[in-house]
Amino acid sequence: MTRTAFRAVRAPILSQSWRHLTFVHWPVPPDRVAPLLPPGVQPDVLDGQTYVGLVALQMVGVGPVYGPGVPYLGTFPETNVRLYTVDRQGRRGVTFLSMDAARLVPVLVARGSFRLPYRWSRMGLTHRAGRLAYGCWRRWPRPRVASAMVATVGEPIEKPSALEDFVTARWGLHVAGYGRTWYLPNEHPPWRLYAARLERLADGLVAAAGLPGVADEPPVSVLYSPGLAVRFGAPHPVPAWA
C-alpha cells in the first residue's frame, strides 16, 4: 500500500468506485507540460521530472454519496490522459488532459457541470486470469483517435517506490471552469498496487492531448490495481500564483 494515508473530505457530494485500473507512465520535462495546465497550478515534479499517465479503468456506481449509484449510466469503461500538478497551497493533484468514457449522458454532465474534458467513445474492457485488454475509439468530439492496451498482472507491491507513490497517491484534481481554476478533493483508502507488464500498446490519446511522440517510447512504469471506492468533496477555488 502507498505510504500516503487516507484523507477525509468535508461534505462529500459524489461517490464512485474505480476497478481494474492499469497505470502507464512516461517521464516528460516540466516545461513541456506547463502550457497544458490550467491557471494557478504548476507541474508537480519528482527529482526534477514530471510524468504523463495513461490510465484505463472501469468506473462503477457513479452517483450521489447517500444513495445507490446510477444504474447503467453510472458504470462504464474509461481511459484518461493525466498530468500531475500542485497549486499555491501545496495541494498535489491530477489535471486531466482527456477523459474518454462509454456513456454519453455522464460525458455531457461532467463536461457541463464540472468542465472536465470528457469525450464520448466506444470502449472495451476484458479481464481474465490476470490479463486485461482495454480499447477506446473516440466518437465525439474530434479528433477521432483510438487506444488499445493489453497488460498482464504480476506480483503485489508491498512497498511502493517514490515514483509509484508519486503517480498514485493523489487526493484531488485541478480543473479550469467558470473563469477560474478549481480543486476537487477526494478520499479513498490506500491503493493495492501490483507490478504489471505491458504486452501491447497502440495509443493515439496522449498525442491528441498535446504530447506527440511520448507514447511512442517505452513507459517507465506500468502498474495494476483491482480498485477502490472513492468520494469527492465540493470544489474549492485555486488562488493565482503571486
pLDDT of residue 63: 82
pLDDT of residue 143: 85
User: Contact at 8 Å (CB) between 223 and 15?
Assistant: no
Amino acid code (one letter) for 228: L
Residue 239 is assigned to a structural domain of this protein: no
Range of the domain at 81: 21-230
Rounded CA Rg of the chain = 17
Q: Which residues contact 36 (CB under 8 A, 6 or more apart)?
A: 83, 95, 97, 209, 210, 211
Residue 16 is assigned to a structural domain of this protein: no
Residue 5 is assigned to a structural domain of this protein: no
Which helix (DSSP H) or strand (DSSP E) does residue 48 occupy? none
pLDDT of residue 2: 43
pLDDT of residue 72: 55
Per-residue cell: 187: 478520499
Q: How many domains does the chain have?
A: 1
Q: Which residues contact 3 (CB under 8 A, 6 or more apart)?
A: 160, 165, 169
Residue 165 is assigned to a structural domain of this protein: yes
User: Contact at 8 Å (CB) between 106 and 62?
Assistant: yes
CATH of the domain at 118: 2.40.400.10
User: Contact at 8 Å (CB) between 15 and 65?
Assistant: yes
User: Contact at 8 Å (CB) between 215 and 203?
Assistant: yes
Residue 162 is assigned to a structural domain of this protein: yes
Q: Return averaged pLDDT per consecutive 10 residues of the chain, 242 residues in all.
A: 59 93 98 98 98 97 72 86 96 97 94 94 97 98 94 97 97 95 94 98 98 98 97 93 72
Residue 6 is assigned to a structural domain of this protein: no
Per-residue cell: 164: 509509484
Count of C-beta atoms within a 10 Å radius of residue 218: 9
pLDDT of residue 1: 39
Residues pairing with 25 in the sheet: 53, 221
Residue 192 is assigned to a structural domain of this protein: yes
Residue 85 is assigned to a structural domain of this protein: yes
